Every structure is written in C-alpha cells, then in structure tokens.
Homo-oligomer: A and B are copies of this chain.
Amino acid sequence: MRIGVVAPARAIKEEVAARVLAFAAIVFPSVDLVIDPQCFAEAGHFAGPDELRAETFLRYANDPAFDAIWFARGGYGSNRILDEIMPALKPAAYRKRYIGYSDMGFMLGAMYARRVGRVAHGPMLIDMGTGGGDKTVTRSLDWLTGGTRGLEPGLGDRPAAAFNLSILTAMIGTPWLPDLTDHVLLIEEVGEPHYRMDRMLWQLSQSTQLKGIAGLRLGGVTDIVENDVAFGEEVEPMFEKWARVMGVPYLGRAQVGHMRDNWVVPFGMRG
C-alpha cells in the first residue's frame, strides 16, 4: 500500500512530516508513505509555485504505483491549479482515494464533480501538530487503507459531503461546485467573525445550485474572530435560521472541523 503526500496549497514543516512518518511506521507498518519534497517548498504564501504544485499532484495522482493521496495541509491555493490538473487526470487517478479538508475542499469538490476516485473530508498531516494528533491522523490513514474506524459517527444512509464554509461559498456559481442534490451537507468554519459567517450562510441559502440538498449539519466553528460590536446572534441559531430560509432540515452538530475532533466524511455514500 503506497500513499503519496502532496501539498496543493500551503507547505508543512519537515518536523511534522518526520513525526507522521515515525508514527505511521509503527501503527500502519504495511503503508509506504511517500512525502514529496514539494510539501516543504515555499513561494510566498504557497508550497511552491502553481506549476510545481500542479505537476506534483498530477505525478502522484496519475501514477498507478500509488494507491492513495493524502493532502498535507490546507491554507489557500488549490483552487488556482484546478484548471490545469482536472483535464490532465489519467485512469490511475480515477482508482485512488484522496483525503483532506479546509482549502482542499476545492480539490475534493472538483474531483467529486468528475467522479475522480473516492474523496473524503478528513485530517491532514498538519494535524499531527507538535504531538497529540495521533488519533486524529489515524482516522485518515485508516480510511486511506480501506478502514471505517474514523468515519464521522453521524453519517447515515444518505450521501454526504463536508466543506469549510468559506471554501464552499467560493465555489458557488462556478463549474467546480459538484452536484450535491440529496446530500447531507456538513459545514465547518475557522477564523471568521459572525458577520462573515452570516453572509456566507446567506449565500448558501440563496444559491440556486444547492437548492436540492437533503439537510445541513454544523461542524466545529473554531477561532471565531470578535466583531467590533457583538453580533447579537449565536452560531448555531444562525445556522438553523439559514437552513430554514433555504428550506432544508437542520440535522444537528457534526464532528468535523479545524480541531482534534475531526472525523472522516467520504463524499457520497459512506461505504
């Protein structure tokens, strides 16, 4: 079992990679985890220039010798390479599993729209952190190797998808947003003030592309930025309200987000 690690947005530190390699060698001894040096590249905000990030992803995705791709980190930037990579995917890319979240929602969404492999929202290498992230990253390694121990506990018999709210709303109105009709949508957010979350939830509720979703679940909303005056509404009631405006049921909380309690959500059916 060979898993390639690439970073279509921001870079990780070599120490994080070393910790994950050491951990995986013990807990997943049958896994050959290949972390491409591109994961440590730096070009302004990004893990190397667009061309390098696109080329690296394609090299692993199109290589039949790799069984899966694990994204190293989010940040910002995978949207910038979609135009280049999506038309260049070869048959081997369609037989792999891919996992990540946050900015990687652009990748997952675009691949899911094209039925490229099996994609899931879940922990990345960066979540190993400075220690303590063992359980978190185990969920992704387990899923990439065919396991189900890391699945988000509330997934039922309906198709699901999970997104960071900022990333999902950035795909609205573009051809990159997949058809999520009849899907339960799990939403998480990090580092936003209430008024921005409200504006994004409004866009979600008004979006013509998302009219047919089956329901909404609210994941972690972490590192909320303070408004200059208190917004006057709490996150969960805001979320419930916009679900009502959208005409879809609010189905409660979900264990996804920028936190340790981030579980795996395969797009589509959980099986």
Closest to A173 in B: B173
Q: Are A45 and B79 in contact (CB under 8 A)?
A: no
Q: Flag A218-262 by CB within 8 Å of B: 1 or 0 each.
A: 000000000101111100000000000100000000000000000
Nearest-Cβ distance from residue A196 to partner chain B, whole angstroms: 8
A170–B205 Cα distance when bound, in Å, is: 11
Nearest-Cβ distance from residue A256 to partner chain B, whole angstroms: 21
Closest to A176 in B: B206
Q: Number of A residues contacting the other chain (C-beta, 8 Å)?
A: 39
Known: A45-B232, A199-B76, A227-B45. A206 touches B175 (CB 8 A): yes
Can you list 25 A-B pairs, Cβ within 8 angstroms, ordered by A? A43-B232, A45-B194, A45-B195, A45-B230, A45-B231, A46-B232, A75-B195, A76-B198, A76-B199, A77-B195, A79-B199, A80-B198, A80-B202, A170-B199, A170-B200, A172-B172, A172-B173, A173-B173, A173-B207, A173-B209, A174-B203, A174-B206, A174-B207, A174-B208, A175-B206
